[in-house]
Amino acid sequence: MTTKLEAPLKRELSVSGNAYTLTITPEGLTLVPKGRRKGFSLSWQDLVSGDAALATALNASLLHASSPRPAQAGEASPREKSKKGQRSSAGATEHGRRRSGASAKR
């Protein structure tokens, strides 16, 4: 016979040589690196419905898409590209519009 989970259950475990704390609650589970406050949470509902697998796949694809690629020979670095795209702010007001005519000579 199984025991109903009514209170948090904490266990320490090691993954690839790193210590983690696993907390199992009636709402879900949380895996936190030892000595830290934030970690990975998963609700039982997400696990059962398959949303957890979908979220994992989405995060993996976003991480892959946002990883920086090495610059090709002769290609400007992202920092250089952003500098080229910036306009001078000389003569601009707080709202980003340029003053014109008599109002600019105040």
User: Domain map of the chain by residue range?
Assistant: 7-52
- The percent of residues in the chain predicted with pLDDT above 90, rounded, is 31
Residues ≥6 apart with Cβ < 8 Å to 64: none
Tell me how crowded residue 50 is: count the other CB atoms within 10 A of its CB. Answer: 9
Residue 97 pLDDT > 60, yes or no?
no
Coil, helix or strand for 12?
Answer: strand
The CA-CA-CA angle for residues 37, 66, 45, to 5°, reads 50
Partner residues linked to 33 by β-bridges: 20
25 touches 8 (CB < 8 A): yes
pLDDT band at residue 21 using 50, 70 and 90 as cut-offs: very high
pLDDT band at residue 27 using 50, 70 and 90 as cut-offs: very high
Output the six-digit token pair for 35.
């000595």
Partner residues linked to 55 by β-bridges: none
**pTM over 0.85, yes/no:** no
DSSP track, 26-52: SSEEEEEETT-S--EEEEHHHHHHTHH
